[in-house]
């Protein structure tokens, strides 16, 4: 199913996160893991993920949770956010080891796939056009913060 245009900004962020996960997985498999560099990258990425998670928790989860068939999924995704926050916090504090890096990569990848395949699909099937449009407008406001928080030094937001 095509992604509803109102969810595309989150899907784009998911693609960015999955690309990072692929790079991390390859580095782990090759045994070429610069722990300091990866933890620094993940600590920077945590800034973006914090805005992303907050937008999902404020704008998507309550609306999806009103659909009876989505309630348990929403609770599962909230729990996954908490587990991922702990892992990202470990990177911020430079406390992750190789095993924890692998866990972060695997958990983040699985989480994104669950949101894309189950949450987004369920919302597109269960919510009306007006509700999806309202979600899109709310996400635009919520994600605007990520543009300035995650900009590289000297980069101009588009």
Position 102 in a domain: yes
Domain around 48: 5-145
pLDDT digits (tens, 9 = 90+) for 64-122: 999 999 999 999 999 999 999 999 999 999 999 999 999 999 999 999 999 999 999 99
C-alpha–C-alpha distance, residues 36 and 101, integer Å: 11
Query: Is 152 among the domain residues?
Result: no
pLDDT digits (tens, 9 = 90+) for 31-52: 989 999 999 999 999 989 999 9
Q: Is residue 150 part of a domain?
A: no
Q: Is residue 126 part of a domain?
A: yes
Question: How far is the C-alpha of 84 from the C-alpha of 104, rounded, in Å?
Answer: 7
105 domain-assigned: yes
Residue 55 has pLDDT above 90, yes or no: yes
In a domain? residue 134: yes
* In-domain check, residue 153: no
Residue 147: per-residue pLDDT:
53
pLDDT of residue 32: 87
Segment 11-19 shows an average pLDDT of 94
**60: CATH:** 1.20.120.520
Tally of structural domains, the chain: 1
Whether residue 145 has pLDDT greater than 90: no
**pLDDT for the residue numbered 146:** 66
53 vs 146, more confident? 53
Residue among 78, 79, 61 at smallest CA distance from 127: 61
For residue 107, tell me if it sits in a domain: yes
């Amino acid at each position: 199913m095509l992604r509803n245009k109102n969810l595309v900004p989150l899907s784009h962020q998911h693609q960015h996160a999955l690309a990072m996960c692929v790079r991390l997985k390859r580095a782990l498999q090759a045994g070429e893991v610069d722990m300091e560099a990866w933890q620094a990258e993940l600590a920077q990425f945590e800034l973006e993920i914090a805005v992303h998670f907050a937008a999902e928790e404020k704008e998507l989860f309550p609306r999806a949770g009103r659909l009876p068939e989505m309630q348990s999924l929403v609770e599962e995704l909230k729990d996954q956010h908490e587990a991922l926050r702990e892992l990202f916090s470990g990177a911020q504090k430079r406390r992750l080891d190789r095993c924890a890096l692998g866990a972060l990569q695997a958990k983040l990848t699985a989480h994104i796939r669950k949101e894309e395949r189950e949450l987004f699909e369920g919302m597109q099937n269960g919510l009306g056009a007006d509700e999806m449009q309202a979600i899109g407008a709310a996400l635009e406001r919520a994600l605007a913060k990520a543009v300035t928080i995650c900009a590289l030094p000297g980069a101009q937001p588009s």
